[in-house]
Amino acid sequence: MKYVYPAIFTPIENGEFDVKIPDLPGCRTCGKDLADAIFMAEDAIAMWLWDAESKSESIPAATALPIVAAPQFVNYIVADTDEYRKKHDNRAVKKTLSIPSWLNSQAEQAGVNFSQVLQDALKKRLNVE
C-alpha cells in the first residue's frame, strides 16, 4: 500500500535534520542533509506502517498539515509498504508441494533449483518483480 504523511523537519546547527512524523507515535528519524532526511523519513514511515500491517494493527489516518514555526517546515512523505516488504522481508518460508514423480525425476536429473523455479513462476503469475 502507498501512504502519505506529513513530516516535521527541524534543521540542526550542524546542517543535519531531525524529522518527526506526528501521526505515527514514536516515528522519528534524522538525516545528514535534506535529501538524506527525506529518504530516512520515507524509510521510517514505511517500516512503522509495515510493522503495523504485519501485526494487523490499525493504521492511523494522516492529519492536516501541522503548523510549525521557522526554521521548522513540513513536507509530505510518500511510503510504499509493498516495496519496503520486498526489500526487507526476504525470510524463506518452507512450502510443501506435490508434482508428478516423472517430472520430479527429470527436474532432479537436470539440476533444477525447485525453489527458484517456484519463485520465478509465482512472480510471473502475480505480475511482480
Domains of the chain by start residue, with CATH = 2-88 (3.30.160.250), 92-129 (no CATH)
Phi, psi torsion values for 20, nearest 5 degrees? -125, 135
Per-10-residue mean pLDDT of the chain, 129 residues long, equals 97 97 98 98 97 96 94 97 89 89 96 93 90
What pLDDT is recorded for position 89?
80
What pLDDT is recorded for position 75?
97
What pLDDT is recorded for position 90?
80
What pLDDT is recorded for position 126?
93
What pLDDT is recorded for position 114?
93
Q: Spell out the residues 6+ positions from residue 101 whose beta carbon is closer than 8 angstroms to its own.
A: none
